[in-house]
Amino acid sequence: MPRQHIVKSVFWLTAAEIIFNLSGYIVHSGVGRILGPAEYGRYGLVITLTTMIIMLIGRGIPSAMNKYISEISDTKPGLVRLIKKQAIIAQTILISSITIIFYLLAPVIALALKDPTLTPLFRLSSLIIPAFAAASFYFYYYTGIHRFNVQSALKVVRSVAKIMFIIGLAYLFKVKGSVIGYIAAPLLVFFVAWIIDKVWISKKFFDNKDYDFDWHKLISYAWPITLFMLFYEILITVDLYFVKAMLQNDFLTGIYNGALTIGRIPYYLFYALTIVLLPTISKTTFQNDIKETKKVISQSLRFMIMLLLPITILMFVYAEPIINIFYGAGYEQAVPPMQVLVFGVGFLTVFYVMSFVFNGAGLVRIPMYIALVGMIAKIMLNYVLIQTHGIMGSAIATSIVSVFIMATMLFYIHRHFQGLIKLTSLLKMLIATLLMYSLSFFFPSQNLMFVVWSIVLTAFYLLILYILQEIKKEDLDLLKKLASKK
């Protein structure tokens, strides 16, 4: 995939991802205000656990389909239909089984959290699993065939659906209504995606040749991916459950959920990069193009760190007005843990994005083992630090573990692909970030003016990089080319 096409794909997917996650924060803000901290904490527990299950278990087979389709979509279009069919069968069996198991275990989960009143909500939320799986399946399918424009459109549809269904039903039926909204929104997206496939996409992948594909390939690739998703999802969400179980305080659980939700903004912003990296690396490694693989990795890492640094600093500096905008004055206690979490999530974002380099190259066990170690370390640190520091202890645990697993991932990236960012580039970015942070003390804000100051500070950061010649003429030329296209 040419560099211009990669950047263009990342641009539009990132734009759609920003809209999608903005809608998510509108939902969290709306639901948090409608329900209040205590009920919002219960809502967060139910939704986080259910979506965690579908995101970690439901992604394995679609990710395998994505990888193998991306390798042959240009050369053997008829094989796309066969791989897709086999993936649908395997995914349907898996998701149906998980949904039934989760429904039956709802009382056990509620008991483990020492709150039996959560049982009906967990049972209702079991329907989120097949709804999310159906919508996500097409998301990975369109990734594999490089229809990023369709993905972007579906993201926007899902954004609107989330706001309408979740906030609307939360207003009418409180926590139960918000859970029903989480079922309705992805179902709508699934039907839209299915119609697009039937009317337009599937006709492009048909020929009269006979193809054969060993479905065991899907399974052998899917299980390490599934375990990686399992370990990673536990890694990023286990602190919320430790807060609930150890502190036994719905108010503090809601406060921490608010801090965690806002702190994850950098992670969501760069999620689009993983969408492009997996099929791109899969194709370059399948063609044994080592030079292009290294180039894609180094450019992706440089692009991510260049933008991640100022975002993290600005969220740290303006944590208080950000929390107030999303949740109101009742969540002011979320500011300190959010300031710690935003750094931890920044490190975690680098680890997660770079994991898809190995997943695309078929080296799926490396990120799986790193995530496993990180998960165990975070569980241990949460148990120790929450007892002594409360919700701040959980935030500190996240940051410590995130630094460790990011460093480990970058070590293996360098070992296998030599695709790291140049030290001189990193040093220039750090200098620009430090200068931007120093300047931020002259722009304090307790209201919406922080948005204006953030734009000013970001422009200053980019100007420093340009002066230091980290932003080069070729970068500006590439942006001009993208801007000149529809």
Average pLDDT on 344-373 reads 85
Query: Residue 10: what pLDDT?
Result: 62
Q: Tokens 């296209």 correspond to what residue?
A: 485
And the tokens for 278?
Answer: 């997996």
Entry pTM: 0.68
Q: How many CA atoms lie within 13 A of 219 on its CB side?
A: 9
Query: Residue 459: what pLDDT?
Result: 92
Query: Residue 481: what pLDDT?
Result: 52
Query: Residue 205: what pLDDT?
Result: 59
Residue 315: what are its φ and ψ, rounded to 5°?
-70, -35
Q: Tokens 């000013």 correspond to what residue?
A: 456
pLDDT digits (tens, 9 = 90+) for 89-126: 888 998 999 999 999 999 998 888 778 888 888 899 89
Q: CA-CA distance, 478 to 480, in Å (whole number)?
A: 5
Q: CA-CA distance, 17 to 21, in Å (whole number)?
A: 6
More confident call, 221 vs 94:
94
Query: Residue 401: what pLDDT?
Result: 93
Among 355, 409, 59, 67, CA closest to 230: 59
**Average pLDDT score, the chain:** 81
Domain extents in the chain:
3-421
Q: Which range has highest mean pLDDT (272-286, 342-356, 376-390)?
A: 376-390
Proportion of the chain above pLDDT 90, given as a percent: 13
Q: CA-CA distance, 66 to 175, in Å (whole number)?
A: 35
Amino acid type, 8 = K
Q: CA-CA distance, 252 to 246, in Å (whole number)?
A: 11
pLDDT digits (tens, 9 = 90+) for 302-346: 888 888 899 999 989 888 888 888 777 778 888 889 889 888 888
Average pLDDT on 12-29 reads 76
Question: What band does 432 get if pLDDT is binned at 50, 70 and 90?
Answer: very high
Query: Residue 483: what pLDDT?
Result: 46
